[in-house]
Amino acid sequence: MSRRGLSGADIRERNIAAILRILRTEGPRSRSGLAQRLGLSRSGMTPIVAEMAERGLVREQAGVPLGRGRPPLMLSLTADELCIVGVELRRDRVGCHVEALDGSSLGGVDLSQESIPEEPLRAAQLVASLARQAEQESGRSAVAIGICLPGTPHDGGRVDAPVLGWHDVPLVALIEEALGDAPPALLVTDIAAAATLGPDDTGSEDRLRAHIQFGPGLGLGICEIHPGASPRPESRGIGHIAWPGTTSPCWCGASGCLDTVLGLHVVTEELHRRTGMAAPGPAVQLSAALAEARRAAPAELGAWTDELATRIAWVVRMVAQFEEPDVITLGGYVTALDDRFERALRERLTPAGGIPDGVAVHLSRNDDAAMRGVATAAANLVLDTPLTTLGTAR
Ligand SMILES: [Zn+2]
């Protein structure tokens, strides 16, 4: 029997990966169209489709007739028992996004008043409990879990997160232990990098995207997206760049860092001070402080909002000029601010204000960009090596 192009398991897996990726990004496709794109003969496709169907990854059914003759057979992604979970652990929010292998949303869990535990073991247990909740609510089993948090992942699933006091924490091993037998594929990234993979309503398919995350630390995630390729986000911290004219000591040991004028705790405390509210405890949420300021000191809140917009525009300008991205998205606590902030920011983000023409700047509409982005990264893990990943999940 002729099995052209199917001499090894690697090639088989690569073909299955390519088909999965096309079906995820483009929706149902005809068997003959897929064969053509992969450079396979019709008979070469037969065993591949059979294996995918047997594993429950695809369904094949007759499509819409094209003129005369039999309607083409269309393959669509199914995997009805599987889901991908994207977990976001932040100082001001904890939650997860659940999606099917074809990228469609299956809902999520939102613990907006929770915070990432500083104890690594408890953080790992929280991920496991979010994953279990996601599985229960979707009625599917998780084949991959992506986790994003305010820290830097290293090889071997170890994480440094100075804002949490974490140094070389074996987070992936802790999560695997918390999940028990046969854990799904795990991937850890930082929030800013994850958000570059999140949904983008700008239709910028193959452009360089940068995301600035305003949180306990300032993160910059950048991602070059090529059509059909697996996007690989990377990130750098930008919190320790010197802010002109400031000398406040930073937790990094230097002084005058961006983190000392734009960190989550700093702006929350500042808002309290400026609006004459009681000094906050460390657990006070910015959203609660904003609600209180809106009620008690609207004029002071307005002035503070304008001033914050000036500082944030400075950061955006710096990223626009140094990274030269096509799109910049902003996430984190800035999404909790009101319309006045957005108007003030827009006024400052002009070519005259140093933003090059053609750079689109967007405030994340909903604050789900990072958890959806890390779900995409986890899905890519499955799509890149489907037989290996799905094999371990069983
Ligand atoms: Zn610093």
Ligand 1 center to 239 CA (angstroms): 6
In a domain, 214, yes or no: yes
Residues 23 and 118 in one domain: no
How far is residue 108's CA from residue 93's CA, in Å, rounded to a whole number? 13
Residues 191 and 212 in one domain: no
Measured CA angle at 292 (ends 251, 282), to 5 deg: 25
Residues 71 and 150 in one domain: no
Ligand 1 center to 164 CA (angstroms): 15
Q: Which residues of the chain have pLDDT under 50?
A: 1-6, 392-394
Ligand 1 center to 28 CA (angstroms): 49
Q: What pLDDT, on a 0 to 100 scale, did the predictor assign at position 271? A: 93
In a domain, 2, yes or no: no
Residue carrying the six token digits 């958890």: 371
Number of folded domains that form the chain: 3
Q: Which domain holds residue 310?
A: 207-365
Ligand 1 center to 316 CA (angstroms): 18
Q: What pLDDT, on a 0 to 100 scale, did the predictor assign at position 354? A: 85
Residues 100 and 185 in one domain: yes
Residues 87 and 154 in one domain: yes
In a domain, 202, yes or no: no
Residues 181 and 213 in one domain: no
Burial-class residue 46 by CB neighbours within 10 Å (0-12, 13-18, 19+).
middle
Ligand 1 center to 58 CA (angstroms): 50
Buried b (16+ CB within 10 A) or exposed e, 76-98: ebbbeebbbbbbbbbbbbbbbbb
Ligand 1 center to 207 CA (angstroms): 31
Q: What pLDDT, on a 0 to 100 scale, did the predictor assign at position 205? A: 62
How far is residue 125's CA from residue 135's CA, in Å, rounded to a whole number? 15
Q: In the numeric block, which tokens belong to residue 233?
A: 């986000």
Ligand 1 center to 163 CA (angstroms): 11
In a domain, 3, yes or no: no
